Structures are given as structure tokens and as C-alpha cells.
Amino acid sequence: MKSTCSSCPVADVICRTVELGLTIEGAFIGEGDITVIRARPIEVLPFCPACEAEGVLRDHVTRELTDLPVAGHPCRLHVRLPRYRCVGEQCPQVIFQHRLECAEPGAKPTNRCTRWILQKLSASKMSVKAVADELGLGWDLVNRLALRRIRSLVYDDPRHLEGVKILGVDEHCWSHVRGRGKETYATILVDLTPVIEGTGPSRLLDVRPGRSKKVLATWLKERTPAFRDGIKVVTMDGFAGYHSATVAELPEAIPVMDPFHVVQLAGEKLTLCRQRLQQATTGHRGRKDDPLYKVRKTLLTRRGLLTERQHLKVANLWAHHDDHVGLQVTYLVYQDIIDAYAHPKRSVGKKLMRKVMDTIRKGLPAGLEELAQLGRTLWRKRKQVLAFFDHGGASNGPVEAVNGRLEHLRGIALGFRNFDHYVLRCLIHSGQLTERINAL
């Protein structure tokens, strides 16, 4: 013991022990620079929990609890609790002690300490190690506390899946370290209903290992019929497995291929066309002084965002190189697809997109191989593509945003090895659980 201080009523307010139903009797600085506070219950109820008879005082015991840091230092509460002997006839409870409302029976941290841990992990985006260091606890204990509580908030709470009408599905790489038999990809499921209805951000619902039709179909089968019936729209990329699972398990829902992946697909075909012409005209890959290589990023930029200099650079590419006609046509189709999605009126955008698909679906001349591939793909998925314009602009954009936040989470944690831990940390990070955490 380094130093001590006497009881002070102001300390109850500063340390907020009144919230815990405790009053401070003393304090000292213990080993490891930990602040130790001696406290006792403000009000004692000496009634047996089994028979409710009033007990006879037997002795006192000290219960050690971990509470919120005090002035930046870890804190321990040494609570002196009375123990009683039950005098009730035929009562199986011989001895009982005063029960604290501020902590679960047998738990080391106070309830508000557990809430504080989740708040730091969710709102402050702190790592488990940083939180454990502030509390003076071990990583395993803090991680176990957080995961156990989040399981109860998500999987044990029927409200977690309420109100989901628009479901977003995407693949996600949760680990970049490959190993024998290790699945590095996962399927993330996101509720997009708040985004479309304008009531809030998207929220992560669950993460499942693997990326296949079976993974999504299994997850949907595990949900209640009421949940499946409530899903009206499912947004996804062009992966056929997710589409097949949606059609099989949610026959009434509308699959939507979101604009991001359609534009990305068109951009990939534009890049392949440019690379093919680069090889055909120069016999080598792009170099810094090659005209096609210098405009590689400009070609993928939306026309409305180009500067005058960039417009001139693209115009010169078409004017001075007759062998770039195929690339020019592919570029114009790419820009037309972007314009269709960007049109303020969904009905007009749908007509523009249908016109593009009708134009490139078949009968294209030689030299437009990449565009022909794009046309066949879009025509095969035309219902998914056009559904975007009919259903409130439901898009996988917010799902991609969640994907990016999960990438950030992996950086905070310096990577994950345990997939179950990763799923629960993802839910803390992107599950929009702030209100439920604050209510603990």
C-alpha cells in the first residue's frame, strides 16, 4: 500500500458509486498502480432469498469487483458485504449474503463496467487489448465478457431480425492468411431497410463462413417463416450462387444486381479492351509514354467529373488513332451505363439501361469482343439489373460500406484467427447495437 485516504462523501459523487448502491469508506493505491476503493452497501436488506425470512447477522465478507477507471487508472471495488443465518423453519438456505444489484452473482466486473467495455469496442472502435489495459484486466477476460454479452444481445434477442425488408448479401475476405482447410471468405448479411426508408444506417445482421449458394440458402432456412415472408428485395453482386439461393428460398423476393457491380463489370470489359489493343498496336504491355496507358484512369472516370484537359486527352485519343474505334465504342457504352444509373428519374434511367442492353446484346461486329461479352452477361441478368430502377434504388452500396468497415476492424485488431470471435466483433463494430448496449 502506497497511500490512503479517509472516507469522503464527495468521493461517492466523483466515482459515481451512488449509482451502484454503494458508499465509499476508504481508498488506497494498490499494486500495479490500481486504485482500490473500500465500499459498503448504502442499504442492506437482510431477507433470505429462499423463504424471505429476516436473517441474523453472522459475519462479513469482502467481494472484489472491477469498475470503471478512476482518473485514468484501473479501479477495484472491495465491497464489504454482511452475511446472515436464515432462521426460517425448513428453509434450505442456511447462510446467505447481501446481494448486489450492480453486478451479476459471481461476476468480477460491475454491470456498468461490462457496458463500458462494449461501448469502447463499438462506439470508440478500440481494440480489446486497449480496453483491457485501461481496466487492468487480461485480454481473455475482456474478450470473453464482450462476446458473451453480445451473443445475448444478438442471437438470444428475437428483436434483432425485426423489420428486415431489404436484405443485402455480399462476399467478404475475413482473413488474408491462407491455411490448409481454412475458409478465408465469408458471406455477410446486411439489413438495408433503414437506408432505403431513410430512418438510419445499414446494420450487419450476421456473418457466415464460405461464399456459396449453400451458405446463403442454409442461413435463410434457419430463419423463421415470418422473417422470410417479410423480405421483399435482396441486393447482391453478379454471383449466380446468391441469386439461385434467393430464388429457391425467397420466391416472393426480388433479386437486384446493384449498380456498383454492373458498372464495375463494364469497367473491367473496358480495361480488357484497352489492354488487348495495347498489345495489338505496340506488341507489349502499357508503358508510361503509350497513349492508351496514359488514359487508363481517365477512361474509367465519369464524363461529368472530367476536367477540360482530360476531355481533350480522350478526344485526341479517338481523333489521332483510327485503330482505337473499338475502345471508343466500349467507352461510350460504359459511360451510357453510368448515365442511366445517375439519371434523377428512375423510369428514364430504366429506359436508358434497357436501350444499352438491347444495343449490345447481339450482332456486334468484330473488334468488340469484350463489349459482346458484357452484352450477353447483362441480357442474361436483365431482370436483376432493371429491378434496381423499380424498387426504390435498392443497392449493395451500403453493404460495400460495411465491408470496408470490417476491413478497418481487422486493422484495429491486427487480424483474427478465430472466426467465431471475428463474427461477434463484427456485430459489435457494425451491428448498430449502440442503443441496446447503452440500455444494459
C-alpha 202/C-alpha 402 separation (Å) is 8
Grid cell 507489349 is found at 284
Position 9 scores a pLDDT of 75
Strands 203-209 and 233-236: unpaired
Position 11 scores a pLDDT of 82
- C-beta neighbour count of 15 within 10 angstroms: 22
Domain 161-258+395-438: state its class.
Answer: alpha beta
Position 1 scores a pLDDT of 37
Position 4 scores a pLDDT of 42
C-alpha 409, offset from chain centre: 9
The 10s digit of each residue's pLDDT in 15-64 is 889 889 999 999 999 888 899 999 999 988 888 888 888 889 999 999 99
Are 411 and 391 in contact, with CB atoms under 8 Å apart?
no
- Quick one: angle between helices 369-380 and 346-360, nearest 10? 130
200-217 as b/e: b if 16+ CB within 10 A: eebbbbbbbbebbbebbb
Q: Would you kindly state where each structural domain of the chain is located, as residue ranges?
A: 4-152, 161-258+395-438, 259-390
Sequential pLDDT tens for the chain (440 residues) = 344 444 567 888 888 898 899 999 999 998 888 999 999 999 888 888 888 888 899 999 999 999 999 988 999 999 999 999 998 888 888 898 888 989 998 889 999 999 999 999 999 999 999 999 999 999 999 999 999 999 999 998 888 999 999 999 999 999 888 766 678 899 999 999 999 888 999 999 999 999 999 999 999 999 999 999 999 999 998 889 999 999 999 999 999 998 988 999 999 999 999 999 999 988 999 998 888 999 999 999 999 999 999 999 999 889 877 788 999 999 999 999 999 999 999 999 999 999 999 999 988 998 899 999 999 999 999 999 999 998 877 888 899 999 999 999 999 998 898 999 999 999 999 999 988 998 88
Backbone angles phi, psi at 81, to 5 degrees: -115, 135
What cell does 406 get?
Answer: 470490417
Position 8 scores a pLDDT of 60
Would the pTM of this model clear 0.85, i.e. be above it? no
Position 6 scores a pLDDT of 43
What cell does 372 get?
Answer: 459482346
Backbone angles phi, psi at 28, to 5 degrees: -155, 165
Position 179 scores a pLDDT of 67
Position 7 scores a pLDDT of 52
What cell does 211 get?
Answer: 461464399
